[in-house]
Amino acid sequence: MLLIYILIILFILLVSYQLILAFSPMYVQYNLIEGLENATTATTATNVGTAEYQPYNVNDPNNSLILSQQNAGNIEVLKGRVDGLDGVKKRVDDIQQSVDLMQTQIDQLVQQQADYAQEIAGSTPPDITGTDAETTEDVEDSIEEDEDNI
């Protein structure tokens, strides 16, 4: 019974510790969302700083200069992201070469196994007896013989 109380207290402590971590202001600043980048990190591979893609405000017709500057900034951010993909193409090419090499090796292994199986089995089929086809008359004769024996 004491063990059950100890386990209950342990679980309560674990849950409360997680709640403290989730809602404490000291730990909130370190909240990370997987797959997303924080505002304090560089978003491009060229370390443009804290540059991020900015949405456009198209409701004001008098902000054409601001929109053009914002467009230039967004182009720089997107260019940095695309430049970051250059390494991906090289990795994909390397993986494709590896897959092609493995496919060649697998084909060779399959061919070796087929050659070995052919070598073991030989080229002439084995003689199998007892598989001769029976005629209807043979079956009827065997049924009559069984009925006579009963």
pLDDT of residue 27: 59
Q: Which residue's structure tokens are 């090419």? A: 93
* Dihedral of alpha carbons 114, 119, 122, 128, sign: negative
User: Is the pLDDT reported for residue 107 higher than 50?
Assistant: yes
Query: Two tokens at 90?
Result: 């090289």
pLDDT of residue 44: 40
Q: Residue 45 — pLDDT band, cuts 50, 70, 90?
A: very low
User: Is the pLDDT reported for residue 34 higher than 80?
Assistant: no
User: Is the pLDDT reported for residue 40 higher than 80?
Assistant: no
- Of the chain, the percentage scoring pLDDT greater than 70 comes to 73
Q: Which residue's structure tokens are 């086809």? A: 133
CB 116 within 8 A of CB 76: no
CB 16 within 8 A of CB 37: no
Higher pLDDT pick, 83 / 6: 6
pLDDT of residue 101: 95
Q: How far apart are CA 126 and CA 13, in angstroms?
A: 75
Q: Residue 90 — pLDDT band, cuts 50, 70, 90?
A: confident
Biggest alpha carbon distance in the chain? 112
Min mean pLDDT across 21-30, 76-85, 129-138 is at: 21-30
